[in-house]
Chains A and B, each alone.
Chain A
């Protein structure tokens, strides 16, 4: 066991965990932030995406220890002062979610996507979503929501 410390959603967080603890387990089990989901065991689905030092990362693909000292942002920390982030608002407005299970990962991926590529078009959004699986929406409204949010954030 060893103590791992990081900043999560702006607050210091630390816990004594086994070396093999994944970042997603640290977030869910140690911090109780269950908005980040686990949808697979082969790093394929993207349900677990969070931001580490501002970049989208599959938190099932990284050890908690590798995030030592990092700034981690999860879905719970995205809305600021009770205001939804424009991507969250767009998912709601355009019905970009059904069961909601893939949604936190989709939103965190989308926020990073818009930051990296402010001039998104549909084809780029679809390519960029390659690492996130949604079984409910057929992606139609997710793509629409991301494009709308990127417009608004321009």
Chain B
């Protein structure tokens, strides 16, 4: 490899290839695409959180101007389409599989959340479709709704699905109960905390959109859609929903304006567009508006937990026990069952040598939008719990929180935790030290008293997080209930002129794959980056792949490319040996040139590429013409990015407003291909984490089940003036689980930052806990209750 030679190699902050089209307005997002003779659709949604549909009269809508067709759940049922599925099966502690209620594409006789899909109107224009949807007469019998997580398992709570008594989908556990109880029995101290992980609404800036098409001649369906994993969408639509056979369905995810998990899932609207396109014989386009996104995109987080940490007299952790109730919403979304179980319970050891852990999670249904993976998915919930517990323990035993962490860090690898994960590499203290230095931890008391002299309350809080990324070894996830393998694919196609196309099963929706993947390929082949094209997001162009989520595209997606490049090099050397009349063992390949060792014979990349296709005189049977190789890479383990984030806040006691005064993040992502892009990923993650800690909250009315935070007027998105600039640092231990030593960086910021912020706020206020989001109202109220103490200080 000629890594740094060209300034484009691995580790270089190369400016992004994809930027030109975005900064000039030439991107192609789904809503930018129009198909000849397309129609428009809109969906009639339930205004009730829970109701029985007595009847639906669509006659007035059908007769309205411009209307092409109106579809209801009955049409879907008549066509015997399957429902939407959850691709991961969780088994309860009593050995029974999770209890799944059906998830029809359009509601048949019951609606289960505000925004549930009732009917679909297809018309010449969007305005026509919307006007006609108003004319549909649905006779609802409103029923009591279950909204509250705390009471949804009561015998008296309204049932979301008859299949799941007490609204309980599963009662799952992990870890060793007896050992954990023994640890608590011999503990010198037990720290207890009730924790809420607030409900979040993902809000990728591009709303979901779809265009369904059907070609009568070939019988081929095409779906343009805002997807993070077009192949998985195609598989689900074919194998489970039964819209079309897999080979007759093309799914294209063009430029996608952010995902954060919310565009992994296969939703009703996209499915309906492709299904109905064949029925109306014209393309059907749907573009969600923001209000629909709030109502119907899968939401994130929403846990209630009780946690207890057992310590000995020296502050050594002995055991952790956790009981969590996790909201799944009204239906199981594509990966929802995995998030509060295998992506959560498995990370409860944090960075610590915790000999005994026992966690119980009840996954429950409520009459709210489905809840599924949102940036971090399970791991932010685990980190929040662990890091709030550690900080609380430190305060209760009067030890510096950094010192308590040091006493308990895992220091030797590999390390088997009591909750499945086998950590393969890390140096947690290195990140802690670097973060403490960057924020000037020692100088904090002086800053605190200076702030106090101005009447402000200053606090500091840290978070030593770990996550499991690089999802994931197929055998491992298979044994845990996954319906899929989590390998990734790549194909490297060398053209006769020497430029290269790389088909990747990963999908970029902001992560910059077109740049980082090209950096890898260009540096390996010794050609300029502009001669490398990264192709993704089209099932017709790209072999089956698993897509992008769980910070997997570097560790898994790029590893697949490395494997394909290995094969390319092997074949190219064979061709070079033939052309230069040498033995293969004597061929060297460096900086884009093949040489015969010990001679002055050489062959440039472009010459070899052309020769591969002219194929003149290739010894028949020994060398096939052409230069194209594919590979599937299945990781040997998860990867374990880890680090330390420290937040310093300043609170105005008169208003309760919290200002982030400083935020330092030190992360160990293993090998970094492009630091510019990696830093950007961390910035974005931290902003979402600070959003969760201070601003964002998806709220339903407890009685009516109406979404109270259904627009940007009510759901507080982090804006530029809510945030500071961030100070970043990196430490490095390479992951032994993939050829590049990468760990993944996409979610770290969102995982690490919420507990750092809340630890800082509780430090500033001198209180034990405050619920997220710590809004000015909550902070102010907390100050009023803590007033005697604050006044005394």
Contact = CB atoms under 8 A, between A and B. Distances in A.
Interface residues of B, number: 57
Contacts of A98: 258, 510-512, 680-681, 684
Contacts of B21: 100
A137 B680 contact: yes
Nearest to A129: B720
Give the interface SS of chain A, mostly helix, strand, loop or mixed. Answer: loop
A136 B509 CA distance: 10
A135 B726 contact: no
A137 B726 CA distance: 11
B205 A101 contact: yes
B25 A135 contact: no
A78 to B, nearest CB: 8
Contacts of A140: 680, 683, 687, 723, 725-726
Interface in A85-135: 88, 91-93, 95, 97-104, 107, 122, 125-127, 129-130, 132-135
Interface in B309-355: none
Contact of A100 (B27, B31, B676, B713): B27
B243 to A, nearest CB: 27
A130 B720 CA distance: 6
A45 B680 contact: no
B711 interface: yes
B416 interface: no
B256 interface: yes
Contacts of B31: 34, 38
A144 B681 CA distance: 15
A74 interface: yes
Contacts of A28: 32
Contacts, number: 178
Nearest to B260: A135
A38 B31 CA distance: 9
A69 interface: no
Contacts of A79: 24
A133 B721 CA distance: 11
B683 A100 contact: no
A97 B23 contact: yes
Contacts of B27: 35, 100-101
Interface residues of A, number: 54
A151 B752 CA distance: 34
A95 B257 contact: no
B22 A103 contact: yes
Interface in A46-105: 47, 74-76, 78-79, 84, 88, 91-93, 95, 97-104
A62 to B, nearest CB: 18
Contact of B258 (A18, A93, A107, A136): A136
Contacts of A41: 289-291, 711
Contacts of A132: 719-720
Contacts of B289: 38, 40-41
Contacts of A75: 23-25
Interface of A: 18, 28, 33-42, 44-45, 47, 74-76, 78-79, 84, 88, 91-93, 95, 97-104, 107, 122, 125-127, 129-130, 132-144
Given A137-B684, A139-B719, 20 more contacts: A18-B127, A35-B24, A35-B25, A44-B713, A84-B23, A97-B19, A99-B204, A99-B255, A99-B257, A100-B510, A101-B206, A101-B258, A104-B25, A126-B720, A132-B720, A138-B683, A138-B687, A139-B687, A139-B723, A140-B723
* Interchain residue pairs A-B with the least CB separation, the first 7: A35-B25, A101-B257, A100-B22, A138-B687, A99-B510, A75-B25, A98-B510
